[in-house]
């Protein structure tokens, strides 16, 4: 791959460090967005469109062919950083511990390079908010249809994989669908000495927890599903009163979207049955929804060809990732793929308190993006 100017790389490393110091959680990425807009406007002639919570820059080729889009995420995570880089987070309880700051810097470097060297199609550089909650891509996906974009690419750094090795999923599901489910029962408080006069949510909640293994029974589905209890609450340390209202929080995941719908229906049926059994009112709500991320064999083949041409080591990802990514909102109606770049086999895990994106990946990822954009 053609080398990227060292001065540009140093600028982008400094950009990452600045962003790392001032992380912002999902939906609050205003200053991160503004830093990136300033950087791209100062270093390119690209057209920039500020969409409020997110923005994109575009290289306009003048060619009447479908464009190509690359996505980077703006948000950090609500975890206290315990590492000690000179640019350590200055925001208590928030850190760039998933590497999104590195993704932003790499995409910014690629934008500068494409602006300098050109491409045979329009190239969109999308900086998206709220990936961690699944809301961002859902709002940004309309851009693909509005701008007649033909291909979309996402990328992510990956601990546990050899440094600067690209991991490719050939086709099918790359990331599971997932959804948060909140089940609430309306109880009635009473003295602990007369529990028969009240309604105790602990009983239906505990009964539903025992159903989790049944919901995970794979004989009922096309592929893999997983239901995980992430929280349960009923009552408290008031020993003269029985529990009344209660709440059960679940995360459900599936390899296929059809199975997500079926799993959700089974849970709803059991909640209704249990609520009737204990004569209690209930409410079900949903959050953090991520669709299945399906990747295009055509786009994955382009990525493979680029790696071979540029002598970049790559491996195939044999199984989909149970973790979700909101990139599925893009690939729902547009050909695309998501690829992974190794941080190192012993590198700290994503979302661990001492994670710090390796700066050496910034030029490596930027050059890959440029090569994909120029591939014909």
Domains of the chain: 6-174+292-374 (3.40.630.10), 177-290 (3.30.70.360)
Tell which residue, 288, 218, 208, has the closest CA to residue 259: 218
Per-residue pLDDT of the chain (376 residues; tens, 9 = 90+): 678 999 999 999 999 999 999 999 999 999 999 999 999 999 999 999 999 999 999 999 999 999 999 999 999 999 999 999 999 999 999 999 999 999 999 999 999 999 999 999 999 999 999 999 989 999 999 999 999 999 999 999 999 999 999 999 999 999 999 999 999 999 999 999 999 999 999 999 999 999 999 999 988 899 999 999 999 999 999 999 999 999 999 999 999 999 999 999 999 999 999 999 999 999 999 999 999 999 999 999 999 999 999 999 999 999 999 999 999 999 999 999 999 999 999 999 999 999 999 999 999 999 999 999 999 6
User: How far is CA 98 from its chain centroid?
Assistant: 10
């Amino acid at each position: 791959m053609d080398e990227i100017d060292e001065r540009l790389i140093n600028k982008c490393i400094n950009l990452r460090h600045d962003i790392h110091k001032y992380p912002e959680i999902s939906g609050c990425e205003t200053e991160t967005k503004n830093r990136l807009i300033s950087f791209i406007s100062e270093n390119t002639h690209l057209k920039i469109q500020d969409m409020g919570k997110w923005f994109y820059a575009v290289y306009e080729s003048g060619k009447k062919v479908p464009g190509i889009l690359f996505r980077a995420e703006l948000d950090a995570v609500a975890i206290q950083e315990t590492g000690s880089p000179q640019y350590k987070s200055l925001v208590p309880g928030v850190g760039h511990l998933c590497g999104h700051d590195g993704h932003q810097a790499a995409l910014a470097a690629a934008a500068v390079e494409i602006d300098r060297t050109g491409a045979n199609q329009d190239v969109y550089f999308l900086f998206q908010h709220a990936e961690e909650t699944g809301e961002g891509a859902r709002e940004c996906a309309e851009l693909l249809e509005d701008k007649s974009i033909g291909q979309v690419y996402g990328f992510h750094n990956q601990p546990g994989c050899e440094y600067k090795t690209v991991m490719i999923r050939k086709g099918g599901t790359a990331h599971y669908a997932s959804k948060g489910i909140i089940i609430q029962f309306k109880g009635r408080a009473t003295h602990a000495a007369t529990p028969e006069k009240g309604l105790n949510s602990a009983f239906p909640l505990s009964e539903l927890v025992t159903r989790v293994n049944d919901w995970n029974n794979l004989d009922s589905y096309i592929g893999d599903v997983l239901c995980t209890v992430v929280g349960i609450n009923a009552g408290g340390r008031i020993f003269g009163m029985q529990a009344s209202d209660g709440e059960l929080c679940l995360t459900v995941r599936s390899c296929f979207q059809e199975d997500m719908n079926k799993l959700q229906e089974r849970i709803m049926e059991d909640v209704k049955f249990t609520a009737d059994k204990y004569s209690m009112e209930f409410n079900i709500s949903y959050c953090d929804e991520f669709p299945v991320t399906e990747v295009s064999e055509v786009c994955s083949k382009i990525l493979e060809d680029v790696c071979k041409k540029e002598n970049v080591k790559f491996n195939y990802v044999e199984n989909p990732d149970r973790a979700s990514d909101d990139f599925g909102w893009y690939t729902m109606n547009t050909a695309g793929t998501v690829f992974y770049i190794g941080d190192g086999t012993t590198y700290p895990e994503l979302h661990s308190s001492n994670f710090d994106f390796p700066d050496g990946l910034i030029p490596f990822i930027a050059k890959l993006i440029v090569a994909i954009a120029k591939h014909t």
